[in-house]
Amino acid sequence: MGRGVHTATQECGRKIKGAGRMRLLFADDHPMFLDAVREHLNRAFPDIEIQAVSNLDEVTTRLSNKGDYDLVVLDFSMPGMEGTEGVRRLRDTYPDLAIAVTSGVAKTRDVKTVLDLGAHGYLPKTLTGSAYAGALRVIAEGGTYVPVETMQALAAEAADRKINAEGLTPREMEVLEGIADGKPNKQIARDLEIHEVTVKLHARSIFKKIGVQNRSQAAVVARERGLVSRGYVQGNY
């Protein structure tokens, strides 16, 4: 399978699919993409049953007719989805339904929202056919799947939110990065092309905002709170 974060732990109220026939409801308004997915899935899983629809209303109709599906895959931008609202609607009505979202245009914040709403996976349309098929199998069998690249983007955005929560300015963040790297003020000033006294002023402001007394404490707190991605504590005063 392609590079992705996936688990196979059973969730409350969710039935794990065994090795038998897998029933998949695929909702996408791009026929060529559907045809390609169907071809790859039929090749990977001879026992699969694929039903395709083109909008969210058709999905709800199939489900209301007691359609017993192991997995429903929703195109993020198809008619009726209204962004993340489509996932919210299905999750509210069918809390135990396995749902995955697929897209070629969804932004990172949208992916986070659909996962928070209870989607069991996110599948970019840029995945290879074999990776796509493997990811669907993981989700249908009770696991979750998110590509590594998407997880990294989600982590980066989470770090940005932590930074904003501290009230640090972009320049203060650059100075803090230098402090966490163990650089003296003179080196930070050269790197940022500012005066050394300006670095000292930024450092004082940083210490006050994050509640520390010195550079070593600032470096430790910065890493613990996810304010910097790296850093070696070194006392340069």
Q: What is the 3-state secondary structure (H, E, C) of 110-139?
A: HHHHHHHCCCCEEEECCCCHHHHHHHHHHH
Rounded to the nearest 5 percent, the helix, strand and coil shares of the chain are 50, 15, 35
Which sequence spans correspond to the domains of the chain?
4-155, 165-224
Q: H or E stretch including 97?
A: none
Tell me the pLDDT of the chain (237 aa) as tens digits.
555 655 433 343 454 444 568 899 999 999 999 999 999 999 999 889 999 999 999 999 999 987 789 999 999 999 999 878 889 999 999 998 999 999 998 888 899 899 989 999 999 999 999 999 999 989 988 889 999 888 888 877 776 666 555 688 888 989 999 998 888 899 999 999 999 999 999 999 999 888 888 888 888 888 877 777 644 333 333
* Strand pairing report for 22-27 and 48-53: parallel
Q: 165-224 — its CATH code? A: 1.10.10.10
Q: 4-155 — its CATH code? A: 3.40.50.2300
